[in-house]
């Protein structure tokens, strides 16, 4: 299988979003994806793009993606956050994920970041096992916090400040 890893381009967005939706199904939250092709086009390839991505391609078919962005840590300085790494279900455990992660790690090295971070669901044992083969540190001390757009709006509307 001759998988090509390359930087994503605007034409890849429909396939990228489809893989994101496939991941959401796997993670048991299909209704959580509110992203659209238009949003992904603007956010990744518009004037003020805020993410980059690699795609894994076989004969012009996108089989996997790794979407990431740079961020800043007050403790570490410049970091790279890997938001999603997705390989279509039928191609998992075929080496595509490793090729994508390799591309992201090369990019992190080129960018000179001091750390790379990502999340994995605690029940996703195949992914955890894969990440352990890379020598990653699993950090059980931190709890993720988040607010939805609606929660942000409710907070602002109720004048807490």
Instruction: Give 112-156 pLDDT, tens digit per residue.
Output: 999 999 999 899 999 999 999 999 999 988 888 999 889 999 999
User: For residue 52, which phi and psi values (nearest 5 degrees)?
Assistant: -130, 165
Q: What is the pLDDT of residue 161?
A: 64
Total-model pTM? 0.90
pLDDT(160) > 70 = no
Please state the length of the chain.
Answer: 161
Q: What long-range pairs does 15-20 form, CB within 8 A, spacing at least 24? A: 15/55, 15/61, 15/62, 15/65, 16/40, 16/53, 16/55, 16/62, 16/65, 16/67, 19/62, 19/64, 19/65, 19/86, 19/88, 20/65, 20/84, 20/86
pLDDT digits (tens, 9 = 90+) for 66-85: 999 999 999 999 999 999 99
- 5 has a pLDDT exceeding 90: yes
State the average pLDDT for the chain. Answer: 94
Residues assigned a catalytic role: 131
Instruction: Please give the average per-residue pLDDT across 100-110, as a whole number.
Output: 97
* pLDDT confidence of residue 145: 92
Task: Kindly state the average pLDDT of the residues 26-42.
Answer: 95
Q: Give 108's pLDDT tier (boundaries 50, 70, 90).
A: very high
- pLDDT reported for residue 80: 98
Domains and CATH numbers, the chain: 4-157 (3.40.630.30)
For residue 11, the model assigns a pLDDT of 98
| Average pLDDT of the segment spanning 14-42 | 95
């Amino acid at each position: 299988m001759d998988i090509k890893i390359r930087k994503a381009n605007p034409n890849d967005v429909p396939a990228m979003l489809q893989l994101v939706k496939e991941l959401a199904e796997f993670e048991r939250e299909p209704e959580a994806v509110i992203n659209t092709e238009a949003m992904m086009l603007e956010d990744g390839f518009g004037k003020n793009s805020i993410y980059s991505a690699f795609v894994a391609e076989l004969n012009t078919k996108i089989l996997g993606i790794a979407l990431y962005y740079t961020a800043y840590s007050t403790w570490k300085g410049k970091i790279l956050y890997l938001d999603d790494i997705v390989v279509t279900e039928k191609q998992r455990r075929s080496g595509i994920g490793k090729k994508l992660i390799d591309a992201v790690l090369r990019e992190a090295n080129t960018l000179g970041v001091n750390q790379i971070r990502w999340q994995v669901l605690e029940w996703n044992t195949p992914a955890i096992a894969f990440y352990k083969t890379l020598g990653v540190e699993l950090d059980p001390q931190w709890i993720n916090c988040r607010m939805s757009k609606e929660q942000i709006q409710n907070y602002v509307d109720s004048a807490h400040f």
